[in-house]
Amino acid sequence: MAHNLNFNQRTGRYSFFSVQEKAWHGLGQIVKDYPTSAQAIKHAGLDYEVVKSPLYTKTSNIIDPTDNLEIGDNEVNVPNYFATIRTDNNAVLGVVGKDYHIVQNREAFSFFDSIVGGTDGILYETAGALGNGERIFITAKLPDYIRVGNGDDVTEKYIFLTTSHDGSGSITAAFTPVRIVCQNTLNASLRNMSNVVRIRHTSGAKQRLENAHKVMGLANEFSNQLEDIFNNWAKVKVHDHEVKKMIQFALCPNKETLQHLKAGNEDEISTVFKNTVEDAFAYAMTSDSQQMNTTKGTLFGAYNAVTGYYQNVRSYKDSEAKLQSIIMGGTAQLKSQKAFEICTNFQKMGMNCFN
């Protein structure tokens, strides 16, 4: 199976670590205990610096128009653009503009340490680099949990951070709840607040990164709101046909299919979509997806059916594609968010929310 983990030729190791879990495709370093930020950087192979270097282009066989003679090869500086380079192996990671500010990997870990005012409360669970090291990601577990029903259905609270060294995007940190019993990432964005902080790579990026933990303090408020919502959903009983309806609308791929769903034109819906819905519904009915009595047959269980389908049933070409889909704004994250909205509306309107 393909993957895009960075392999460091100098150390002979893949740039990835995971605590107690099997690393991507058996690659990378698996550690028994949660490391400190300094240890995590080394475990993940992220202990390298990135610098901006002037960018040059080579021209050849230039004709001097004054005397019609060839000048030969010539290096010309490209103004206002720079190459980003790893200092440990001189790998070129990308091309950026003059205002682009590099945020070093260690500064990204410092962001996590500062969230809880030190290193004691943050638990680094995974970290790694993709490609040549141009994109890095870190997941860290926060103290405390979200508890649903009688308290046995537990969701852990994570912060996921990704940043790049090639100018391809902003620094992104997101609050991400993960339900323990089936490892579902419960993607949700509340209408009145966001669970994501984005910081541009400009001259003030480092300062904003240092202050971002204040914004991420909203994670506590966000998780408190989610806990209330999930506990309310656990009290709302739903029938199997209602669960299937929610799955259909959450996974709906386009407007045409949506119109057929609303009109009840089952024969006009593609076989591929029908099979996808059946797979998700079958997962919703299994003990693997539910486990907890507080969840089975409830609105919270219906929501978990969609999030769990994408993480425990759906096939991906590799783990990077799965990470992209579930965490980094891909299809699974968008569909899970749609499921969250449907469940919110169902609680208010019942089956009328599908009209």
Query: Which among 301, 308, 310 is positioned nearest to 343, based on CA atoms?
Result: 301
**Whether pLDDT at 147 is above 50:** yes
Q: Beta-carbon neighbour count of residue 151 at 10 Å? A: 10
Query: Which among 229, 218, 136 is positioned nearest to 186, based on CA atoms?
Result: 229
Q: 150 and 33, same structural domain?
A: yes
As for how many domains the chain has, the answer is 2
pLDDT for 1:
36
**Most confident range, picked from 56-70, 106-120, 321-335:** 321-335
For residues 93, 99, 103 and 104, what is the CA-based torsion angle, rounded to 10 degrees? Answer: 50
Q: Report the run of H or E that residue 80 belongs to, with start and end.
A: strand 74-86
Residue 63 maps to a domain: no
Q: 242 and 112, same structural domain?
A: no
Q: 304 and 242, same structural domain?
A: yes
Tell me the one-letter amino acid at 46: L
By CB atoms closer than 10 A (0-12, 13-18, 19+), residue 316 is middle
Contact 205, 101 (CB under 8 A): yes
Q: Which two tokens stand for residue 80?
A: 């206002």
pTM of the full predicted structure?
Answer: 0.76
Q: 212 and 125, same structural domain?
A: yes
pLDDT for 47:
92
pLDDT in tens, 231-264: 888 888 888 888 888 888 888 888 888 887 787 7
Q: 255 and 197, same structural domain?
A: no
Q: Which one of 163, 190, 216 terminates a domain? A: 216
Q: Which two tokens stand for residue 256?
A: 């045409």
**Whether pLDDT at 101 is above 50:** yes
By CB atoms closer than 10 A (0-12, 13-18, 19+), residue 273 is middle
Residue 328 maps to a domain: yes
Q: 304 and 185, same structural domain?
A: no
Residue 127 maps to a domain: yes
Residue 224 maps to a domain: no
By CB atoms closer than 10 A (0-12, 13-18, 19+), residue 33 is exposed
Q: 238 and 211, same structural domain?
A: no
Q: Please tell me the least confidently modeled range out of 126-140, 217-231, 271-285.
A: 217-231
Q: 208 and 247, same structural domain?
A: no
**Whether pLDDT at 332 is above 50:** yes
Residue 110 maps to a domain: yes
Residue 250 maps to a domain: yes
Q: Which one of 216, 244, 273 terminates a domain? A: 216
Mean pLDDT of the chain: 78
Q: 154 and 24, same structural domain?
A: yes
pLDDT in tens, 149-204: 776 777 788 888 888 999 887 888 887 777 655 556 666 666 655 667 778 887 67
| Residue 207 domain boundaries | 7-48+101-216
Residue 60 maps to a domain: no
DSSP single-letter state for residue 295 = T
Residue 77 maps to a domain: no
Contact 39, 32 (CB under 8 A): no
Q: Which one of 156, 184, 216 terminates a domain? A: 216
Q: 259 and 182, same structural domain?
A: no
